[in-house]
Amino acid sequence: MPESELLAPPGSKVLLLGNEAIARGAIEAGLDVASAYPGTPSTEIGEALSSVAEELGIYFDWAINEKVAAEIAIAASWSGLRSLTMMKHVGMNVAADAIFTLTYAGVVGGMVIVAADDPQAHSSQNEQDSRHFSIAAKIPTLEPSNSQEAKDFTKVAYDISEKYKLPVMIRTTTRISHQRGIVEVGDVRERRKKGVFKLDEPDRYLQVGNIAVKHHKELVEKLKKVEAEVSDRGDFNRVIGDGSDYGIIASGVSYSYAAEALKRFNLNIKMLKIGMPYPFPIRMVSDFLKSCKKVVVVEESDPIIESHVKMIAKDSNPDVEIYGRETGHLPWAGEYRPGIVIEAISRSFGIKLDLPAVNPAAAEISKKAPARSPTLCPGCPHRSTGYATRRAVKANSIVLGDIGCYALLFQKPFSLAKVSHAMGSSFGFANGFSIATDQPVIALIGDSTFFHAGIPALVEAAHHNRKAVFMILDNRITAMTGHQPHPGVSYTATGRPAREIDLEKLVRSLGIENVEVIDPFDHKRMEKAVRDSLNRDGVSVIIARRECALLTVRKLRQKGRIIPYIVDPERCTYCRVCINTFACPAFIDTGEKVKIDPAVCFGCGACVTVCPYNAIVPQEGSLNWLKEGVGV
């Protein structure tokens, strides 16, 4: 993003992504230290900070994983600085060990944890709701409903955090993280710059036995204060409208769907907007329920507010009818859309609301468009790794995938990596399958994912000399989230030099002898390496090293035009081997021949050796990335 928008002068109105607005809120609060591991939909908070950190003197870098990132932010807070850590929902699982105990210890400098949930699992393996962590770890939590609130809530979260000496969580969902809206920005507080760690209380940072119990009691007292002084006071939770005895309780982006529905249908229904779901505003909800006969609760992703509302209704107004997921008025899985919320309002209150007319044929016509799932890019090294691996694996091989672009190798024609679970699980599972079965085991992991959570599992495998093939798909970047640096590269998020951790040396240091580093575009060598490794006893490691094609092509475009490859129609026999085994998105099937779409081809030449008839040929000026060492 242009830096000018993120650093716009106070009072100006700029278009900010929800995530950028969070970054601006933290900057306005005087942020000193931020650390994170990238993960959709949280990544752009770090991307925004990367673009301005050096100029503002803020420390920001991508950390090896969410737990280390959280620990960096915690230590900064304990040193009196204002700190930030942000992650996708499943990142909370990784950071949780550090965060659960943090609420016992408390904070010194204000600390904000952003948990970005992904209902609909657009770029995720599940739809988990981070507010379960709010309750389980006892973290005061704010839920903004648009970009402006994302900025405002983050800024004020720092004051709450410091006042009550607790971390504060900002919980977003994809449509908040990734909505761009107009934000009026505020003044930027001066930073503290350097902290000092002091032990004013000798056991403050020591959590064990009775000390932990003592701190737990304190924590409960702090939360009661937050409930009375913040949550129940109307700063974040408020009633909008009066009118009828029908009520809507809504949070996050669901609030915007409900509010717009009331406007669209000109309905006089009051709303309780929940901007702080934890600690729960018991008094406020209790009062609201007393004034209602029927209530519908609209929230993503799990019925957390809904269950609390039901518990409170038991005491405050047992007769109130409460609708939501548990009554089947809203779906349990998938994200909400405006139409879903309109329908829930209509059914809950028995009001007929006519949705705008949609031609009944539209759904069928839409389905005529052939499915277009995310696909590996032209020139992607993972396609070549998948192509060669597919040729080498045996029918009973267990091929394990992990989190990253290469997870797409589950698709045809590769049909590899049919297991994709959690960060680092491929390497962990490989240990387990080599114990439990006699099948050949091959585990794929990306470079960034290997650093994040694959190392312990590889150490485990080396220790026991498991019979399995461990492939590190080293594309020299954290690619899927948009190219963030990781410990395997020589620079930081803000472009400072950093020590490049040598993957090969790291692996060899475990005593693993069978280690090969291969350019995946060298299909023959890759296929042979996979085959040999599968036939070998004990641990083998293959490092498939080639830069992400998007980076390569970006550099090439700066130098000049990309010259695509072409198919020689004389030689093309329309055997379709290229499409059916390599499946580059640049291939066009005319029904008689295969062609290469010049608008899609990256001119990498990886497909040349795939054609049995040598029909794929360069044009004048086309490069061959393998032969010319481009991108390695």
Partner 1 sequence: MDELNVIIAGVGGQGILFMSRVLGHVAVKKGLNFIQTEVHGLSQRYGSIHTEIRIGRDVQSPLILEGTLDLLMALEPLEALRKATYVNQRTIVVMDIHEIPPVTAYIEKARIPDVDEIISDLKALGAKKVFTVRATDIAVELGDPVLANSVILGAASTTGVLPFSKDEIRSSLSDLSPARYREQNLRAFDAGLKEVEER
Q: What residues numbered 128-157 form the site for partner 1, per CB under 8 A?
A: 146
123 binds partner 1 (CB under 8 A): yes
**Candidate ranges 70-78, 174-182, 233-241, 535-543; the one touching partner 1 (CB under 8 A):** 174-182
Burial of 196 (0-12, 13-18, 19+ CB in 10 A): exposed
Integer Cα distance of 565 and 503 in angstroms: 33
Measured from the CB atom, the residue of 161 and 425 that comes closer to partner 1 is 425
415 binds partner 1 (CB under 8 A): no
x/- letters, 417..456, toward partner 1 (CB under 8 A)? ----------------------------------------
Measured from the CB atom, the residue of 351 and 355 that comes closer to partner 1 is 355
Q: Under rule CB under 8 A, which residues in 474-493 are in contact with partner 1?
A: 480-482
Q: Under rule CB under 8 A, which residues in 326-365 are in contact with partner 1?
A: 337-339, 342, 355-359, 361-363, 365
Measured from the CB atom, the residue of 568 and 589 that comes closer to partner 1 is 589
**E-only strand ranges, 9-80:** 13-17, 33-36, 59-62
Instruction: Report in angstroms how near the CB of residue 315 gets to partner 1 at its nearest.
Output: 33
Measured from the CB atom, the residue of 210 and 359 that comes closer to partner 1 is 359
The answer for 271, left when phi > 0, alpha when psi is -120 to 50, beta otherwise, is: beta
Measured from the CB atom, the residue of 355 and 575 that comes closer to partner 1 is 355
Phi/psi for 544 (5° steps) reads -90, 100
Integer Cα distance of 173 and 448 in angstroms: 24
Contact present, 61 and 492 (Cβ < 8 Å)? yes
**Candidate ranges 40-48, 384-392, 416-424, 453-461; the one touching partner 1 (CB under 8 A):** 40-48
Measured from the CB atom, the residue of 100 and 574 that comes closer to partner 1 is 574
Q: Under rule CB under 8 A, which residues in 496-555 are in contact with partner 1?
A: none
Contacts of 535 (CB under 8 A, 6+ apart): none
40 binds partner 1 (CB under 8 A): yes
Measured from the CB atom, the residue of 66 and 71 that comes closer to partner 1 is 66
Contact present, 441 and 468 (Cβ < 8 Å)? yes
Q: Under rule CB under 8 A, which residues in 241-300 are in contact with partner 1?
A: 253, 256-257, 259-260, 263-264
Residue whose token pair is 């080599």: 434
Contact present, 471 and 515 (Cβ < 8 Å)? no
Measured from the CB atom, the residue of 301 and 317 that comes closer to partner 1 is 301
DSSP 75-100: HHHHTT--EEEEEEHHHHHHHHHHHH
State which of residues 97, 122, 216, 268 lies at the interface with partner 1 (CB under 8 A). 122
State which of residues 194, 372, 499, 559 lies at the interface with partner 1 (CB under 8 A). 372
Integer Cα distance of 413 and 455 in angstroms: 30
395 binds partner 1 (CB under 8 A): no
Q: Under rule CB under 8 A, which residues in 53-82 are in contact with partner 1?
A: none
**Candidate ranges 35-43, 78-86, 150-158, 297-305; the one touching partner 1 (CB under 8 A):** 35-43
Contact present, 442 and 471 (Cβ < 8 Å)? yes
369 binds partner 1 (CB under 8 A): yes
**Candidate ranges 134-142, 313-321, 371-379, 386-394; the one touching partner 1 (CB under 8 A):** 371-379
Contact present, 154 and 112 (Cβ < 8 Å)? yes
Contacts of 601 (CB under 8 A, 6+ apart): 378, 562, 564, 565, 584, 586
